[in-house]
Structure 1
Amino acid sequence: MAEQLIIGRHPVVEALRAGRPLQTIYLQRKAGGELIREILQLARQQQVPVKQVPAEKLQKFSRGHHQGCIAIASAVAYYDLQDVINHIVEAGQTPLLVMALGITDVRNLGAIARSAFCLGAQALILPEKDTAPINELAIKTAAGALHHLMVARVSGWKQAYEVLKLNGIHIVATGVHNGVLPDRIDWNQPIALVLGSEDSGLPKPCMEQADAVVTIPIHPDFDSLNVSVAAGILLYQAAMQRQTFHQ
């Protein structure tokens, strides 16, 4: 299915005013004016990524009169992280959240979402930048799980950590080396599992400010697991401890 485009300044600003979920807004470089200023303000408030691009990039999206502004509608709704936590707690559940940082492969993101939903996580946390888009391919890979998980969009891991810590949610970062074994984590407490990219992992400060670092033991002749596989292993450990599912 093709991405749904919203073309032109007025349609984009009206979508923002209506709170319509947007994946990304593309603005032509040096574009200005009152509507552009409002688009930037609303996008910042709603944490919608904005990319400044040359006119040629916009022409690839649409040959029509785009007025230097095109948005891509999101296939899922995005929520504020605090609202997500409130919803989970009010439902009488113990939060189990999955934060994916630097996951730029659409299929990996979809597979993470699938494991998260199947193994009892309630929500996915994604940063505005350096993240694969939630498009039709991601939804297909997730086998529809992205329609069941709440998805919170944050400006970055620092903002997410601040909200998580204020709500008493234990942050467990993943690392290739020197972390505790998965069965040493108390998965029954409120937890946010933080996953990093396969190439570079998590930023060092991100790991240092976590409450714990977990490492999956693997064969010494190999360096790492696929990130979606690692997510599945760790979330299975959480599900077993929490007795999420019963025969």
Structure 2
Amino acid sequence: MQENTIIFGIRAIIEAIESGSSINKVYLQKGLRGDLFYQLEKLTKKNKISTSLVPAEKLDRLSKHNNHQGAVAKIAPIEFSDLDTLISTTLESNDTPLFLLLDQVSDVRNFGAIIRTAECTGVNGIIIPKSGSAPVNAETIKTSAGAAFKIPICKVDHIKDAIFHLKSADIKLVSATEKTEDLIFDVNFNQPIGIVMGSEHKGVSSSVLKLSDYKAKLPLLGEIESLNVSVACGAFLYETVRQRSL
């Protein structure tokens, strides 16, 4: 991450401010109106954040012509969490922690959508490998609706390293894969769990599958053989929520 990171989208910037992220400057589109826009203006004044009213063309350039919704911000980089600290602090406060491991999910929009769903379903932390993963950039943050500022994200050298750490803490690993006969409904998610989602093209790697305590798939009733990874991840996370709510 660079010294200054560009993020865009009114809601993403609001979430960044409310989470306590270090905002260096916010650029707002001249003449823009609306409840969310006024909420953002109020927050920048309350937190004494420097703002500039600029034409839409400048925001287009700053956001590289993405859908900025009339607001762009320069922020300090996101700090990644330490895995050992995350596991220990989570176990101290939660008997049934829920972690999410992404085995080389490379599309930023999928990554952003997964972060958003993870935050909504009470995931305690997301673990990604340093190599082969989508970056936490402006588009990821925008797609996450700012959830990237609310959930711990850990980077590890290899996903297998994280798996060994989790297993040593008696956390069971469930890999989402079509290479099994077991359905998602056959797995007991009402225990300490780490859910592993694979890459868009290859799924969960074979070496990770071998280390998993459970392998599970979603029932597919149509002719398409697989779901988008962010959609499949949402199904796994909400099955966990369902079981834990019974």
**Counterpart position of 1:122:** 124
Select the residue among 160, 180, 184 that pairs with 1:178: 180
Equivalent in the alignment of 2:146 = 144
Cα displacement (A) at 1:74? 7.2
Question: Are 1:159 and 2:143 matched, yes or no?
Answer: no
Residue of structure 2 in register with 1:84 after alignment = 86
Q: Structure 1's 191 and 74: CA in aligned 2 closer, same or farther, altered over 3 A?
A: farther
Task: For 1:215, give the aligned amino acid.
Answer: K
For 1:179 and 1:94, the matched residues in 2 are separated by: 26
Q: Distance in 2 between matches of 1:120 and 1:204?
A: 28
2:55 equivalent in structure 1: none
Runs (5+) with no aligned partner, structure 1: 7-72
Q: Which residue of 2 aligns with 1:243?
A: 245
Residues of 2 paired with 1:235 and 1:82: CA distance? 23
Question: Match of 2:29?
Answer: none
Query: Cα distance, 1:3 vs. partner?
Result: 5.3
State the secondary structure of the residue aligned to 1:153: strand
User: Residue type matched to 2:207 in 1?
Assistant: P
Cα distance in 1 between the residues matched to 2:3 and 2:181: 43
Tell me how far apart the structure 2 counterparts of residues 108 and 169 of structure 1 sit (CA, whole Å): 25
- Aligned match of 1:222: 224
Pairwise CA distance, 1:237: 0.4
User: Per-residue deviation at 1:183?
Assistant: 1.5
RMSD value, Cα:
2.1
SS at match of 1:78: coil
Give me the whole-angstrom Cα distance separating, in 1, the residues matched to 2:95 and 2:154.
17
What secondary structure does 2:164 align onto? helix
Q: Which residue of 1 aligns with 2:53?
A: none
Does the aligned pair in 1 maintain the 2:176–2:198 contact within 8 Å? yes
Deviation at 1:224, TM superposition (A): 0.6
Matched residues in 1 for 2:210 and 2:130: separation?
22
> Could you tell me how far apart the structure 2 residues matched to 1:139 and 1:81 are?
21
Counterpart CA distance in 2 for 1:120 and 1:3 is: 29
TM-score (norm 1): 0.67
Deviations 1:201-242 (A, max 9, x none): 111121111001010011351111000000000100000111
Alignment correspondent of 1:36: none
Contact 1:74 1:135 in 2 (8 A): no
1:85–1:110 distance in 2 versus 1, CA, 3 Å: same
CA contact (8 A) 1:171 1:212 kept: yes
Structure 2 unpaired stretches of 5+: 6-74
Query: TM-score normalized by structure 2?
Result: 0.68
Does residue 232 (structure 1) correspond to residue 234 (structure 2)? The answer is yes
* 1:100 shift after superposition: 0.6
CA gap 1:99/1:179 in 2 versus in 1, 3 angstroms: farther
Aligned counterparts of 2:77 and 2:223: Cα–Cα separation in 1: 40
1:75/1:134 contact within 8 Å kept: no
Greater mean deviation of Cα atoms: 89-98 or 208-217: 89-98
Letter in 1 for 2:150: H
In the superposition, relative to structure 1, how do residues 219 and 3 fare at CA in structure 2: closer, same or farther (>3 Å)?
A: farther
Q: Percent identity?
A: 34
